[in-house]
Structure 1
C-alpha cells in the first residue's frame, strides 16, 4: 500500500517544484496495456480472505480512497464505523493523497485495485466503464434508485446504459468571498460582467487583491474557462466542445480567452506559483476579495466559527441569451472494480452509501459538500451548504468540470498546459488554440 500524504485534498504533486497536472503520470498510463509494465504507485490493501462470491454480503471490503488528509478522512472513518454497524461489513481503507490517486488511477484499475473506490461522474466514469475496468452496479440501483432524481440517475450511467457509479456528494463552483469583509466594505454581489469588473476595480483601489486566482496545480483555471465558455457560448456549445473535441480553433473559443484576459490585472501576484489553498487563505485572511473555486475546496478552509462567513455568488452573466443558467457542479461517488474480491460485500456497502442516512452522517463531519440522495435533512446544513443546494437545484444545466466532462487524455495533457501558456502569454492565444485544435483532432480521430 502506498504511504499517504498530508497534502491538501487537491495539492500539487510532491517533489515536482513546478506546475504539474493531477494526472501527469496518467498521461503515460493511458496508453493502454503498456501501462501494466509500470510499477503501480497505487496498490490495493489485502482483503483478509474476503470471499469472491457475489452472494457473500459480509466480511471485509477494501476501499481505495483519495481522501488521505484529516478532512474528509475523519468523516469517512465515522461513516465506515456506522456502515459496519448497519451492514456487518468491515471496510478496510487504502488511504492515498488526492493527486497521487488521480495520477495513477488507470494503472491502479488495470492492476490489483481495491473492491470499491472513490471516483467521479461524467466522462471520467464513462471512460473507464468503456474500457471494461469497472463492474456495473445495476443490482445496487435496484435497491437505491428511488433515492435519486432522474438527473442524478443519468449521471451515474455509462454509454452502454448500465449503472457504474453510486453518487454520494456534490458541490458547486462559484465566486466565493468573506461575508464579513464584504459587509465592512459595502460590496454587493455582481450579476453582470460589467459589474464584476467594476467590483474588481474597486477592490484594487481599496488595496485588496480583487481575485484570488492560483494555478500552480494547473486544474483550478479550468473552472474559469468553463464558466466563461458557458456564459458566452452556452452550455450545449461547451459540452460539445468537451465531448467531441472539435471547434477549438474558432472565433467563439478565441473570444472566451480574450474575455478572460480582462481579468488578469486583478489576479493574485505570482498566481502561477500559488496553490488553491494559498488562494483560499487569501480569502479567509481578507487579503483578497473573490475567488472562483469549488465549495469542496474552500469549504475545508472556512471551518468552525468561520464556516458561515463564507459567501458566494453565481459566476456573472456575459451573454443575455445564456444568462447564469449553467452551474459547474462536480459529482463524486463510488465505483466497484472489475473483479472485486468481495463483490457481494461491495454491493451491500454501496446500498448503504446510497442512502440519505449515510450521506447525512458524512456531511455532519464534512460540511464542504452537499448530499446527492433525496431525504437529507437540509435544516442541518451550514449556511454555505444551504446556499449551494439552492444554486444547484435552480440551475438549468449542470456541468461536471473540464477534466470530468472531457477525455482524460485531452484534459491534462493538452488543455492544462495550453491554459497555463495563455496565462503566461495571453497574446499568443491564436497559436495556442491552433495547437490545441490539432491535438484534439488527433486524439478523437485515434479514438474512432
Structure 2
C-alpha cells in the first residue's frame, strides 16, 4: 500500500519486487544463530493470529523450549485472523504485547509511520540476518531500518486436484482461450470452474491482481496501488471486460459472496469445483489424506508478451514500540528465527521460507512454488498489502459488488476513484 506519506523507500521496495530471490527455499545446512541468554526470568507476551492449529502448536513448542533455556515465561494469545486486523489498531496504542504478528511491506509501514513498531535493526546486525534474507529484507525495511522479521512467503495461483484432472483428461489452462474452454468442460462435468468465497472480501483482491498483472504488467499495477493512476483510467477496461466475461459465463461459485475462503476451499476438496485462486495455505481446507492430490498452476496468460508477474505476499512478526519487555522480545525472536525453529513453523503452513538456510521442506507444494518462482519476472505483495488500507477496503468491497452486479461497473469505479483522489492527495 502506498501510504499518504510516501518515502523514498517505496521505490526501493518496488525494485526489490522485480528481483525476486531465486532459490528462496534452497536446502542448506541449518546453522543455529541463537545463543540462549542467561536465565533472566520475566515474561514475554505475544499476540498472534494463526488459524492453522498445527502452526500454533509449533509456536507453543518453541515458546516452551525458550522458557526452559532462559527462564523467561512466554504467554501467547491467539486471535481470530479477521478480528486481529481491527484489534491491532487499538492494542498497539494501548495495551501492547511484546511481540505481534502482522503483514510486511506497506501495511507494516503504516504503523511504522505512526511510531508504533520498534526499530529492530540492532537485532538484524547482531544475528547477521541481512546475509540470510537478501531482498526479502526490504519487505520489513523503512528508510534503511528494520521493523520486523519476514516470515513465510505465499505464492498465489490456481490450485486443483490431480486426481480430478487425470480422470477428466484436463490440463491446467495456459492462456485465455484455454481458460474459457476449460470452464466449459468443467461445467459440462457438473462442476463450478472456479471456486471463490468473497465473504471476507480479500479473495477478490487476489483475483483483481492476477487479471491486472496479466493485462497491464507490474509497473502499471504498482502505480495503481500507489495512487498514481485513476481507477477510471482506460487501462482497467480490459481487466473488467475479461472478468465480466467469466462472470457471465458462470465461472464462479453462485454462493461466493456468502462463502468464506475455507468453504470455497472445501468445495474444491470435495470435487464440487475444478480450480481455486488462492495461496498454498489452501491445503488446510483439504483432509490430510488428500494433500498429495493438490496441484498448483500459474494464472493463465491473457495478453501475449506480458511477462509473468505474481503476488508473493510475505507475513512478518514485530515488536511494538510500546512493548514492556523489548529486550526479552528480541531474545525470543532470535530463538524463534533460528533456522530449525522457523523452518518447522513455516512447514506447518506450507509457506516458503524467507531465509536461505532453513531445512528442506517436506511439503512438495513448497518445492513446486520455489521452482515456479524461478520463472517469475517480478512480484507484488497482494492488493490489500500494496495499497492504502482504506483504499483496499473500498476496493475489495467494489470488486465483490462487481462479481454480483457487473452492470454496476462504471458506478463502482467512479466510487473507487473518489476514494483514491481523497486518500492520495
Contact 2:39 2:72 in 1 (8 A): no
- Structure 1 residue 68, shift from structure 2 partner: 5.5
**Equivalence map 1:277-426=2 (5 Å):** 277-296=262-281, 298-323=282-307, 325-364=308-347, 366-378=348-360, 380-412=361-393, 414-426=394-406
Distance 1:68 1:287, change over 3 A: closer
Contact 1:242 1:402 in 2 (8 A): yes
In the alignment, the residues of structure 1 paired with residue 309 and residue 275 of structure 2 have an alpha-carbon distance, to the nearest angstrom, of 20
1:145 aligns with 2:129: yes
Give deviations 1:87-128, integer Å, cap 9, x for gaps: 554321121111110122211211111011001111101111
Structure 1, gaps ≥5 residues long: 1-54
Q: 1:58 to 1:124 in 2, by over 3 A?
A: farther
1:168 matched to which residue of 2?
151
Q: How does 1:70-85 map to 2 (within 5 A)?
A: 70-85=53-68
Counterpart in 2 of 1:94?
Answer: 77
> Does the 8 A contact of 2:41 with 2:71 survive in 1?
yes
Specify whether residues 87 and 308 from structure 1 end up closer, same or farther in structure 2 by C-alpha distance, changes over 3 A only: farther
Question: Could you tell me whether the CA contact under 8 Å between 1:173 and 1:329 is conserved in 2?
Answer: yes
Query: How do 1:154-165 and structure 2 match up within 5 A?
Result: 154-158=138-142, 160-165=143-148
In structure 2, the CA distance between the partners of 1:94 and 1:67, relative to structure 1 (3 Å rule), is same
Which stretch shifts more, 112-121 or 367-376?
367-376
Indicate the SS of the match to 1:263.
helix
Task: Determine helix, strand or coil for the equivalent of 1:416.
Answer: helix
Equivalents in 1 of 2:266, 2:93: separation in Å? 38
Assess if the C-alpha contact under 8 Å between 2:156 and 2:311 holds in 1: yes
Measured against aligned partners, the alpha-carbon deviations of 1:19-51 in whole angstroms (never above 9, x if no partner) come to xxxxxxxxxxxxxxxxxxxxxxxxxxxxxxxxx
- Normalization by structure 2: what TM-score? 0.86
In 1, the alpha carbon distance for the partners of 2:133 and 2:403 equals 39
Which aligned pairs between 1:189-204 and structure 2 lie closer than 5 A?
189-204=172-187
Specify the alignment match of 1:257 in structure 2: 240
Q: Is the 2:194–2:253 contact (alpha carbons within 8 Å) kept by the matching residues of 1? A: yes
Q: How does 1:117-136 map to 2 (within 5 A)?
A: 117-136=100-119
Cα distance in 2 for residues equivalent to 1:360 and 1:90: 23
User: Per-residue displacement from partner, 1:304-327 (whole Å, max 9, x unpaired)?
Assistant: 22222110101111122323x211
Query: How many residues are aligned here?
Result: 385
Q: CA distance change for structure 1 residues 201 and 132 in 2, over 3 Å: closer, same or farther? A: same
| SS at structure 2 position matched to 1:311 | strand
- Any conservation in 1 of the 2:162–2:295 contact (CA below 8 Å)? yes
The verdict on how the C-alpha distance between 1:68 and 1:136 changes in structure 2, with shifts beyond 3 A counting, is same
Per-residue CA distance 1:272-320 (angstroms, 9 max, x = gap) = 1111111111111111100001112x12123522222110101111122
SS at structure 1 position matched to 2:190 = coil
How many Å apart are 1:431 and its aligned residue? 2.0
**1:227 maps to 2:196:** no
Task: Compute the displacement of 1:211 (Å).
Answer: 0.8
In 1, the alpha carbon distance for the partners of 2:420 and 2:238 equals: 19
1:443 aligns with 2:416: no
Structure 1: distance between partners of 2:419 and 2:228: 9
